[in-house]
Structure 1
Amino acid sequence: GTVKITDNETGITYDRLHSFTDCGEIGDGWFHIRPVADELYSSEGCEVSVCKKDDGVAACSFLVVYRFRIPEYAEKVNEFCRRSGETILKIESTFTVEKHSKIVKVYTVVRNHARDHKLCLRLPVDCTDLYFADQCGTILKRETGIDPESWNWKESDIPERQFTSMVFTRNESGKKGGLLFVSKGGLHETANCGGATPALNITLFRSFSKTVGTNGEKDGLLQGDLVFDYAIAPVAEETDAELIRIKENFVHDVKSFTVRGENLKNSEPFMEFLSANCVYDTATPEKDERGTIVPNGIIVRASNYSEERSAGEIRFCREPKEAYLCDYLGNKTGEAQLRGNSVLFVAAPYAYVNVKIRF
């Protein structure tokens, strides 16, 4: 039931992707707590069926169904344990491969009837020391594993770390390659314990019996069908900014509308954003001190995902009359350069930049 992906750009193959692990969960929603006498189950070796759903010119898709046998719930005798009978956790994952696409889209439905457990998606990777996670406006380097010196702390170190919607690895020793995981929403936690078998372990959900601050409210058990929309992709030599663009294109679908019955016409885009390390964030109308929209003025915001000063170009369909850098209140803070229909700017390392343009 695992997946093998070959990157046509580098020739590197990524094997045994997309298995699942399941462990006990006796926390309360705020804190993840595993039973002391816990058992970790792997879906590798479980009953699996594979179906080709679509086979077209532009895309094809495959349905993989896992029947994952796990303990039904946690039972307290002398201590919490998970030996309380077994149930089948049915997992249905649809993999979609599109022509000329960098990513493999995955749509997973988990039919959850078990309790007191945590389900993770496992993606083996070739990194033992570092992996990377996105946060607002930056990329964080995270060390794998945990701090062994924290074993006697009241709250000892845990391998789980947060991310916004993207986590990835880069192969070590200067080799090409790596693996990218992108969540369309709802998945924000991963762990990489490093060691001999490093892997990104993405937390899909926790099913816990008690919600914090209540007398036993049961909605945290998350019974029923749970849906997860995400993508995985090989990494070649893309910059962090290019990976952010891959993420944004997947998370936020581009919408285009035409009027029925009209012939499609070639149109020139109003604006193009060009940069190796800066990423377009948003554009807003210029406003005065009273909040009134100023005609013919916009503010474009971008982020520099590099540790170096980086240049960017904003190209318009007509020539701007004025452009400069500004703060969040619209006050001028620096210069931008006009060149024909383009505005050129430079952003500081790992910084936001606001460019005010008037026509």
Structure 2
Amino acid sequence: MADKPYTAHYIAGTHWDREWYQPFQDYRMRLVQVMDKVLNVLESDDRFTAFHADGQMRLIEDYLEIRPENRQRIAHLAQGGRLMLGPWYVLPDEMLVSGEALIRNLIVGHRLARTFGVEAMKFGYLCDEFGHISQMPQILANFDIGAALVGRGTNEHSHPAHFVWQSPDGSRVLAYKLQDAGGYGAFTFATRVRGSLSAPDLDDKLRALVEYEKSRTKIGLIMLIDALDHYPILAEAPDLLLRMSMLFPDVSFVHSTLPQYADAMRKHEAEMPVFAGELRDTARGKGGYLYLISNCLSARYPIKQANDANQTLLERWAEPYLAWANLVGARHLPPTYLDRAWDFTLLNHPHDSICGCSLDQVHKDMMYRFDQARLIGEGVVSSALRTLIPDQQTKLDNADSFQVALAQAEPYARRETIAFDIVFPSNWPYRFREGFIGEEKNSFRLYDDDGNEIPYQLLSVQRNRTMTKARPDSLVDIVKCDVCRVAAEVHLPPLGHTTLEVRPADGPTRVWGTLRTGPLSAENEYLKVSINPNGTLRLMDKTSGGMFDQLLTFADDGEVGDGWFHIAPISDEVISSAAAPCDVGVLADGPLMVTFRLRTRMQVPCAFDWQAGRRSDKRRDLVITSDVTLKKGASALHVKTVVDNCVKDHRLRVLLPTNLRSDTWWVDLPFDLIERRIALDPLCVNDKELAVPEKNMLAIAAVAEKRCGLAFVSAGGLHEAATLDDEVRTLAITLLRGFHRPVATDGQPGGQILGQHTFTYAIAPFGGPDDLSRLLSLRDRLATDVRLRQTDSGFGVTQRVASLLRIEPEEVRLSALKPAADGRGLILRLYNPLARDTTANVAMGVALKGIVATHASEEDDGHMLPLQGNTFAVAVPAKKIISLRLLV
């Protein structure tokens, strides 16, 4: 056998989309039947070596919820190497979830596998993801996974069957590339999809499959993968392999596993080419499997928005603040709350779920899970802040004074103009009014922790609001309040809070000045902005001298695609807001903040006319309201765009012409910042799958010259961006797509996402490629914002300024600060997305006993870091993810 030039490994499994063209419960009824048969076959036929449970533990958990009596059967087969479990919890999309979520997914998958008495399968099963991110090899390597299986995002003409896949930090895995035509079901197609085992042409199909795989391999290894969507186990596989050994005397056939295949590949690593970075090529040639499927990035915006908000809530607020509160408080909040919230969140990360390309019922179910995760996370944060900032800790001199704590989640000190609410009792006696009949205003002054008065700008007042205040040991208080929204320039300590004291004042309290320089223009230390007659913006970066015009143009075109693909009608009409009417109002006008409200009305077709084959002749006003804010000390414009989506079958984009000379553009990915070419490959013009300019981003899309750039930075929910190959290098960000027909239906309304949608983002000039780290700071500040905690009247807090974690420099980014899964201290995860090495200087606000280097898997490598008091330094090489265990 060893002398034969080829060895073919038969890999048995099934790919299980948990929800897609059927809801989860319908799929699970099929799953139970499939898994019943898997167990019966494995137990009755020792010749059937092994079966793969799709690389995800949730398949097993879903099955055992219905068949709990079979847990021991599964454990016995797994311990015997017959049933391959993990490494994932769910098979995730890679483009639309955070890097931290990918790590948690693997952590949960490994933990669940251990409950069956085995380690998770050490193989990166990525069979159906819509492309692959640049840092996936490094993430896998953190779990001691040295090989992966990939498909979409690669082509046979460019990627051989076996290659080395390298992350930008140098981490490597051996990769097996699925064939273009049959993908992870190549063997299934040959034997079962278009025929049967008794078909007269079966031998011919097997010959064609094996000969084709022989032509793809350069190292003598062949994979015969039998794991198509929702297919049952092929009980006849052992007999079929014997039959094939007679057909191919030059091939050794092995009923194998993916780890065994990885071991075989490892012997030939030196013969494999190296491919670095992301894998996201559109499909070049044959077959129905390989499509990259680019435009699910913009399908069903609300689920993307909910996912980003939940990830931020759990990663940046709930986990670090729970850990802090448990270290200093008398009450202990179980970290298992967060396990439950992560479970709800991760269940929404399979690609057919988070990509927005499934039935309406599927996405309705997702929103319930997101709601549960959000409610748990918000409860944890509120409880933690109550511990850290009590209602009644120390008495103030004035019984009507109180304190407002502003907390931030970023581990970097910052001074920034913040808008926040102050809640007064409705009977607050200190008031004044302008003239004789003007509105009453509350008279108060703000003071920082050193007793210095802080000027503030009053933005709005809401009277007689009904509010509740939870008390840990009593009934909830229901009170009437007045809410004053103010803007103030505040110094925020790193990952902590500062406290402002609100004191009553006698007589008027006003602030003078304005950032406005004219009726439709404003200026601060860094930016000049003016509004054009059509509602677009003209922006000058005073630091670089960069001038940008016609920013905030909107473009609306037709949509006849689905959740997967944006497809423009043959007879399309693209409508621009460049000549649309726009009303301009001023919402805030003062020395700390100016907000212009731009109300643009675009007359667009009501829908696509399927009979006429063009966008409808009937028109409707698509109203787009954008609040554009310039703050004192801000180097970016903050924008909140509200779209009242009242039309169907369309795509809406916001356009930012950069007028920069560049052939490349930048985006952020999980744990990375990458540079992409703007121009599409002209050789792709007649490919099977249309190459499109739209690509994935986490939140940042930027174009830069050497010392000048312009970036779009999203607060969350927006993941599809393009830089158009035009003369002005326009950044084009998809806000929403409305489509009428999910797969396997004649049409459902949910994909049209009718109703009101809010998009929060920044338009940020910057100093070119060397200044990209500033965009990361802006991204995370937008996403995390600040949170408030207010004491009772007459009371304050003892520690008015507190910080849990400080990291310097800011180019080192925080990914996680969380209680360790095994209870031994905290896990701190940092990463460096830039292409230059650096050192992180870290200070903790709690006592440390030691620092142990660990992996993302939370398995220590035994290396202790030097510790000086509660501070330490750690090298963070270019593009590296660093995990540490903090012993407290």
TM (norm. structure 1) is 0.90
Whether 1:30 and 2:558 are equivalent positions in the alignment is no
In structure 2, the partner of 1:117 is: 650
Which of 278, 291, 310 is matched with 2:838 structurally? Answer: 310
Structure 1 residue 45 corresponds to structure 2 residue 579: yes
In structure 1, the partner of 2:637 is: 104
Aligned to 1:272: 806
> What is the SS of the residue equivalent to 2:716?
coil
The one-letter code matched in structure 2 to 1:183 is: S
Deviations 1:100-154 (A, max 9, x none): 1222211111122222111100001114411111111001212113222112112
Provide the rounded CA distance (Å) in 2 between the counterparts of 1:223 and 1:14. 32
Asked if 1:246 corresponds to 2:778, the answer is yes
Q: Is the 8 A contact 1:128 1:195 kept in 2?
A: no
Partner of 2:884: 355
Of 874, 884, 888, the residue aligned with 1:345 is 874
Where in structure 2 are there 5+ consecutive unaligned residues?
A: 1-534
CA distance in 2, matches of 1:339, 1:88: 63
Aligned with 1:339: secondary structure?
A: coil
How many angstroms does 1:77 deviate by?
4.6
Matched AA of 1:357: L
Following superposition of structure 1 onto structure 2, how do residues 277-296 of structure 1 map, counting pairs within 5 Å? 277-287=811-821, 291=822, 293-294=823-824
- State the SS of the aligned residue for 1:35: coil
Counterpart for residue 752 of structure 2: 221
State the aligned residue count: 349
Q: Give the direction of change, closer, same or farther, for the CA distance of 1:319–1:72 in structure 2 (3 Å limit).
A: closer
Cα distance 1:210–1:319, how it changes in 2: closer, same or farther (>3 A)? closer
Q: Does the 8 Å contact 1:241/1:279 carry over to 2?
A: no
Pair 1:334–1:239, CA change in 2 (3 A): farther
CA distance in 1, matches of 2:582, 2:802: 49
- Matched residues in 2 for 1:254 and 1:331: separation? 34
Partner residue, 1:298:
826
| Deviation, structure 1 residue 334 | 4.1
Indicate if the aligned counterparts of 1:128 and 1:194 stay in contact, CA closer than 8 A.
no
Number of the residue aligned with 1:134: 668
- What is the CA–CA distance in structure 2 between the aligned matches of 1:246 and 1:197, rounded to whole Å? 25
Secondary structure of 1:181's aligned partner? strand
> Which runs of structure 2 are paired with 1:83-102 in the superposition (5 Å)?
83-102=616-635
For residue 850 of structure 2, what is the amino acid of its counterpart?
E
Structure 1 residue 320 corresponds to structure 2 residue 848:
yes
Give the SS at the match of 1:167: strand
Deviates more, 1:144-153 or 1:58-67: 144-153
1:205 aligns with 2:736: yes
How far off its partner does 1:47 sit? Answer: 0.8
Corresponding position: 1:9 with 2:546: no
Deviation for aligned residue 1:17: 0.4
Between the aligned partners of 2:556 and 2:869, the Cα distance in structure 1 is 58
Secondary structure at the aligned position of 1:70 is classed as strand
Which residue in the other structure is 1:230 paired with?
761
1:262 shift after superposition: 2.8
Contact 1:146–1:193 under 8 Å retained in 2 = no
Distance in 1 of aligned mates of 2:846 and 2:750: 55
Match of 1:69 among 579, 600, 603: 603
Other structure's SS at 1:226 match: strand
Q: Offset at 1:228? A: 1.4
Q: Name whichever of 63-72 and 334-343 sits farther off.
A: 334-343
CA distance in 2, matches of 1:239, 1:345: 23
Residue in structure 2 matching 1:255, options 784, 787, 807: 787
Moved more, 212-221 or 257-266: 257-266
Which whole-Å CA distance do the structure 2 matches of 1:3 and 1:102 have between them? 15
Q: What is the identity, as a one-letter code, of the residue corresponding to 1:210?
A: R
Q: Is the 8 A contact 1:122 1:201 kept in 2?
A: yes
Comparing both structures, which one devotes a greater share of its residues to helix?
A: 2
For residue 306 of structure 1, give the secondary structure of its aligned residue in structure 2.
Answer: coil
Please report how far the alpha carbon of residue 340 of structure 1 lies from its aligned counterpart in structure 2 after TM superposition.
Answer: 4.1
Give me the TM-score of the superposition, normalised by structure 2.
0.38
- TM-superposed CA distance for 1:330, in Å, is 3.6
Contact residue 67 and residue 90 of structure 1 kept, 8 A = yes
CA distance in 1, matches of 2:661, 2:789: 43
User: Which amino acid is 1:262 matched to?
Assistant: F
Distance 1:206 1:348 in 2: 40
Q: What is the Cα deviation at residue 314 of structure 1?
A: 0.5
Supply the distance in 1 between the matched residues of 2:800 and 2:880 (Cα, whole angstroms): 36
Residues 358 and 236 from structure 1, CA distance in 2 versus in 1: closer, same or farther, beyond 3 angstroms? same
SS across alignment from 2:751:
helix
Deviation at 1:4, TM superposition (A): 1.6
**Secondary structure, in 3 states, of the residue corresponding to 1:240?**
helix
How far off is 1:58 after superposition?
2.0
Quote how far apart the aligned CAs of 1:270 are.
2.8
What amino acid is aligned across from residue 72 of structure 1 in structure 2? C
Of stretches 338-347 and 58-67 in structure 1, the one that deviates more from structure 2 is 338-347
From 717, 721, 737, the equivalent of 1:190 is 721
Equivalent-residue separation in structure 2 for 1:60 and 1:137 (angstroms): 34
Q: Deviations over 1:190-243 (max 9, x none)?
A: 111223131011001111122222221122222222221222111125643332
Match of 1:332 among 834, 839, 861: 861
Contact map agreement 1:68 1:88 (CA 8 A) in 2: yes
Code of the residue aligned with 2:727 in structure 1: it is A
Corresponding residue number in structure 1 for 2:677 = 143
Partner amino acid for 1:178? Answer: G
Q: CA deviation at 1:83?
A: 4.8
Residue pair 1:132, 1:169 contacting (<8 A) in 2 also = yes
**Change over 3 Å in CA distance of 1:224–1:329 after alignment to 2:** closer
Q: Which has more strand, going by share of residues? A: 1
Amino acid at match of 1:124: P
Unaligned runs of 5+ in 1: none
Q: Which amino acid aligns with 1:49?
A: D
Secondary structure at the counterpart of residue 49 of structure 1: strand
- Decide which moves more: 93-102 or 252-261: 252-261
What is the deviation of 1:333? 5.5
- SS state of the match for residue 247, structure 1? helix
Cα 1:11/1:197, change in 2 over 3 Å: closer
Gap change, CA 1:193 and 1:358, over 3 Å in 2: same
Aligned 8 A contact 2:850 2:864 in 1:
no
Instruction: Give the Cα separation in 2 of the matches to 1:45 and 1:357.
Output: 58
CA distance in 1, matches of 2:862, 2:698: 30
Q: CA deviation at 1:46?
A: 0.9
Residue 708 of structure 2 corresponds to residue 177 of structure 1: yes
Worse-superposed segment, 151-160 or 235-244: 235-244
**Over aligned residues, Cα RMSD in angstroms?**
2.1
Distance 2:668 2:853 in 1: 25
